[in-house]
Amino acid sequence: MKNKGGINVSEEGIKGRKNGIKGNEERVKRSKNGIKGNEERVKGSKDGIKASRESVKVNGERRQIVEDKIKASRNLEEDPGFELLKRVITESTGFNCEQYKEAHFRRRINVRVRATNSENYEEYLRLLKKNSAEHENLIKTLTINVSEFFRNPETFGVIEKEVIPFLIKSRSDSLVKSIRIWSAGCATGEEAYSLAILLHRVLGRDFDKYRISILGTDIDNFSLEKARKGVYRENVLKNVDASIIKSYFVRQGETYQVSNQLRSMIRFQRQDMISESCTNHFDLIICRNVMIYFKKEIQEHLQLNFHNALNRGGFFVIGKAETLLGTASNRFKPYNARERLYIKET
């Protein structure tokens, strides 16, 4: 094939040039894609730098919060207003602060100091003097009322299968068949009602033959008022069988009301177990997870008081994290050490 100038041009040459042009176009295209990729990488790099900066900022804020909390805690530990605050609390509420372990007491006080955004104990004290509602909040925080029905079910299992049958048998020949129980530090009443349920179930048809008396005491009037009403939310009934709920509770919307039969078995009253004398002749005393917050000498004092308040052969139950101390450890004989259940022999 000849072009107009007489030059021979082969079809393959033309085809090759076309392929070359096509190849150049592809290289240009790849180059553009490369530029686009670089732009995306640059954008990604910028986004990464931005994310890193934000991460650094967030971590910095978190560190600052932690440092502020540590600083605040250190400041409260060194705050001379703590002793004055303790004296005012004792005088205004009757709550003897000196009987509690200081580390525990300080932690509970600090809960309210931070909740009210007080800078120090002096500022919190000023708030306490002018705000009566804060008095109530403080007492609730100090008395730590955490309870539920049949808390530590294994402990109640021993009471149901061994302790109560023993007490019933020991009274079988008595002219007056009485059983007296004391729930010390009863909080909102769940423990006392749990004991009433067990007594009623174990006695069965013989229940009316016995004079049952259960005393529930606590230092917190607000908790005692709730105990007397006997109205509870479902979450505190998690250890209770459906058959027991059906027999001893009346559902009222989202809450459950303890039956009148159980409520008639129990008397709730305010008592400072440290400074106030307790009555005697109990067959079973339960004081769990209360003494652990007191100083050791106060714990021993209470344990000796409980010993004196028990009948001979009476039972004493304490919390799993608690132990008998000093002279008291020699006055009780272990009945079930695992469940912290003891018996008075002398």
Query: In the chain, what are the domain boundaries?
Result: 12-77, 79-143, 153-344
Alpha-carbon gap, residue 196 to 243, rounded angstroms: 15
Confidence check: pLDDT of 329 > 50: yes
For the chain, the straight-line distance linking the first and the last C-alpha, in angstroms and rounded, comes to 132
Alpha carbons within 13 angstroms on the beta-carbon side of residue 218 total: 32
Query: pLDDT tens digits for 102-133?
Result: 888 888 899 999 999 999 999 999 998 888 88
Q: What is the identity of the amino acid at 269?
A: Q
Query: pLDDT tens digits for 146-182?
Result: 689 999 999 999 999 999 999 999 998 888 899 999 9
Q: Which of 223, 229, 222, 268 is nearest to 252 (CA)?
A: 229
Burial of residue 222 (number of CB atoms within 10 Å: 0-12, 13-18, 19+): middle
Confidence check: pLDDT of 78 > 70: no
Strands 211-218 and 231-233: unpaired
Q: Note the CATH number of domain 153-344.
A: 3.40.50.150
Cβ pair 300, 331 in contact under 8 A:
no
Q: Which of 193, 177, 84, 195 is nearest to 129 (CA)?
A: 84
Mean predicted confidence (pLDDT) in 300-307: 96
Mean predicted confidence (pLDDT) in 211-239: 93
Amino acid 14: pLDDT: 46
Q: Buried b vs exposed e over 97-124: b needs ≥16 C-beta within 10 Å?
A: bebbeeeebbeebbebbeeeebebbeeb
Enumerate residues 6+ apart whose C-beta is below 8 A from 244: 197, 201
Cβ pair 58, 102 in contact under 8 A:
no
pLDDT: which is higher, 122 or 62: 122
Q: Which of 190, 180, 192 is nearest to 279 (CA)?
A: 180
